[in-house]
Chain A
Amino acid sequence: MTITIYVPRDSAACSVGADAVASAITREAAASGADVRVVRNGSRGMLWLEPLVEVATEAGRIGYGPVSASEIPALIEAGLFTGGAHGKRLGLVEELPWMADQQRLCFARVGVTDPVSADDYLAHGGMAGLRRALTMDPAEVVKEVTDSGLRGRGGAGFPAGIKWNTVHNTPGELKFVCCNADEGDSGTFADRMLIEGDPFCLIEGMAIAAYATGASEGYVYLRSEYPDAVATLRQAIEIAYARGWLGQDYLGSGQRFDLFVRVGAGAYICGEETSMLESLEGKRGMVRSKPPIPAITGLFGKPTVVNNVLTLASVPSILAQGAAAYAALGVGRSLGTQVFQLAGNIKHGGVFETAFGMSLATLVNDYGGGTRSGRPVRAVQVGGPLGTYLPASTMDLPLDYEAFAAAQAMLGHGGIVVFDDTVDMASMARFAMEFCAEESCGKCTPCRVGSVRGVETIDRIVAGVEPEANLVLLGDLCELMTDGSLCAMGGLTPNPVLSALRHFPEDFTARHEGTAP
């Protein structure tokens, strides 16, 4: 009987040697005459265990990790092909606490299936959402998404159903569905892993959005920094066309939906939805002022759904299982699941999909295992480079949009970056301003000039040059950027700066104490 071995093709797994592990297994299996099929799955999201090798047994999939190519002969000797004992043996992967304690909807298939196998997708519940959607009126599909409580997973948390409803109700011969896959925030990689690990899920979500809103063309705006995701998605789209899941009368919908991948060109600001639309139109990624909102006047002036990858990837399971099942998860107005990404100086980093409401401390300390360096956690930045720095003492916050907002923080897209006690928070605050200066689109003055002045002012504070006056100046500058910027880039940059100052004031003074004139 053929033995099935899984070795991830996810680029993070490959970044620590998964390709070499896969070739070693193929080579050694051939040498020993074993009948082995190596499946390149997505990553389970336990990135500290990558490369994670799994073998299918009668009891289930047994994991070994992290494995290096040089260990393969010894692993085979120890009985890798039958799930034999070895120092790297982890047991049944589904039963590891990290996996067993999650509620995976978006990531249900990621790490389980071959990402570019349409049959695998179908065998694991794929297309059930689109099939059910097609039995309903488009307006009913929109209502289902509204009733689920799904909010935009890109960070702003705007209800997806309201957006879809606007596009649905806006007349137009030509409408678009745009997937914002310009995930440029440090500490976020769930979009990349979803696209590399289960691209059909995104395709299905976009096809449902197209049916619900009457859109005939879709674009995925994907970062050039993710070449593997670009290749995987393009391959999956070709397969989807061949299966009749895209194109004329896709899946018997009676409509046409064409899907294209557009590659960005290294501009952080294009993650902002209106900048992304400008970029898709072949222009500089300059922010547009709103109104008009993209749902009414979007890409090329047409009604456009703009959603993040995980928003669209949540839709197939909502349609397949019903809005009520989704809305039963979560807390308050943060319903369903969020794909949290544990990153930075963390022992057990990766993706953890769970209902809203778990505390940040539980996620970072219990599941994340604390810092990789073994030193105490000092600061955690949640929600990307524009997110607040939280000190270890406030980490009992529950992970939901409102609780974070109440604590002057933002949950954003669920990216969590951990720092140990060696971090210099004044330099992190300076970096936030520097990053804004580097990546500002330049359209509005508070962001373009304010960020440059911000760097200079922090430099003066740290150097001990009139620190009191410069702290007041920095406060004024942040207020101006918050109130006067056209978009979140300039408007939220004060978040990391002011939170660093609020929670870690000692880092802004220590170096010049006693030396100031």
Chain B
Amino acid sequence: MPIDTSEPSMADRVRSVVDRHRGDRGALLPILHSLQAEFGYVDQAMIPVLAAELNLSRAEVHGVVTFYHDFRAEPAGRTVLKLCRAEACQSVGAEDLVAHAETRLGSKIGSTTADGQVTLEQVFCLGNCALGPAGQVNGRLYGRLDAARLDGILDAEAERA
């Protein structure tokens, strides 16, 4: 099979994302968000390209990427489950819910299940503090979670696969 030369290289794709943000002031964060939206994570190999395009040092770009919790170094699972562990959710059983999620998924907070399906993360406040414990599944907010409701949500996500 001939090599498909129409496929743009990662560096080209990164440059095209940078181009979309040329007019933005202090554009690095919006660029990183766009890269993560497009690739699912921010690859180490993107850092020198960004540094060259934005006239920053590699260390500066690396420093920004690693400072923020949102930017991943590798792709997440198909489902990203974030559970809130801040005070308001703790007061209504967030820690028990985290323990349940870890047991069900067989993986710890901050990691992805062995089959690559679900990434479990902690988050400190989703702004649903009167309806806790709260969680977010692929960007969608859920309130008044308990073990049964969480299982139902995860089952539905698994079926959608």
Residues of A within 8 A of B (CB): 11-12, 14-16, 47-48, 50, 183-189, 191-193, 223-229, 260, 262-268, 279-285, 300, 341-346, 349-350, 372-373, 381, 385, 415, 417-420, 423, 428, 431, 435, 438-439
Please tell me if the beta carbons of B134 and A265 are within 8 angstroms of each other in the complex.
no
Whether a CB of chain A sits under 8 angstroms from the CB of B73 is no
State which residues 16-53 of B face A: CB under 8 Å. 24-30, 32-33
- On whether the beta carbons of B130 and A15 are closer than 8 Å, the reply is no
Partner of A417, one of B60, B123, B126, B129: B129
Task: Point out the residues of chain A lying under 8 angstroms from B107, CB to CB.
Answer: none
- A341 near B141 (CB under 8 angstroms)? no
Q: Is the CB of A282 within 8 A of B131?
A: no
Q: In the complex, are the beta carbons of B125 and A225 less than 8 A apart? A: yes
Consensus secondary structure, chain B interface: loop
Contact A225 B129 (CB under 8 A): no
Please give the distance in Å from A433's CB to the nearest CB on chain B: 13
Query: What is the CA–CA distance of A225 and B139 in the complex, to the nearest angstrom?
Result: 8
Closest CB in chain B relative to A180 CB, distance in Å: 15
Given A265-B29, A344-B87, A431-B90, the answer on whether A189 and B141 have CB atoms closer than 8 Å is: no
Q: A15-B134, A267-B69, A268-B124 are in contact. Are A341 and B86 (CB under 8 A)?
A: no
User: Which residues of B does A touch, CB under 8 Å?
Assistant: 24-30, 32-33, 60, 63-64, 67-71, 84, 86-92, 123-132, 134, 136, 139-144
Q: Which of B63, B125, B131 contacts A16 (CB 8 A)?
A: B131
- Mind listing 10 A-B residue pairs with CB under 8 Å? A12-B141, A47-B131, A186-B125, A266-B69, A267-B69, A280-B29, A343-B129, A344-B132, A415-B129, A417-B129
**Contacts A225-B123, A343-B88, A431-B87; is A279 near B130 (CB within 8 Å)?**
no
* Given A183-B127, A343-B129: 13 more A-B contacts, CB < 8 Å: A12-B130, A12-B143, A186-B84, A187-B129, A224-B33, A341-B129, A344-B88, A345-B91, A349-B130, A372-B92, A420-B91, A423-B91, A431-B87
A225 and B127 contacting across the interface, CB-CB below 8 Å? yes
> B68 to chain A: closest CB distance in Å?
3
Q: Are A15 and B91 in contact (CB-based, < 8 A)?
A: no
Say whether A184 contacts B124, CB under 8 Å: yes
Cβ-closest chain A residue relative to B125:
A186
Residues of A within 8 A of B24 (CB): 260
Instruction: For the complex formed, measure the closest distance between the CB of A303 and the CB atoms of chain B, giving whole angstroms.
Output: 15
Given contacts A15-B134, A428-B87, contact A282 B26 (CB under 8 A): yes
Q: Is the CB–CB distance between B129 and A189 below 8 Å?
A: yes
Whether B27 lies near A12 (C-beta < 8 A) is no
Inter-subunit contact A227/B139 (CB<8 Å): yes
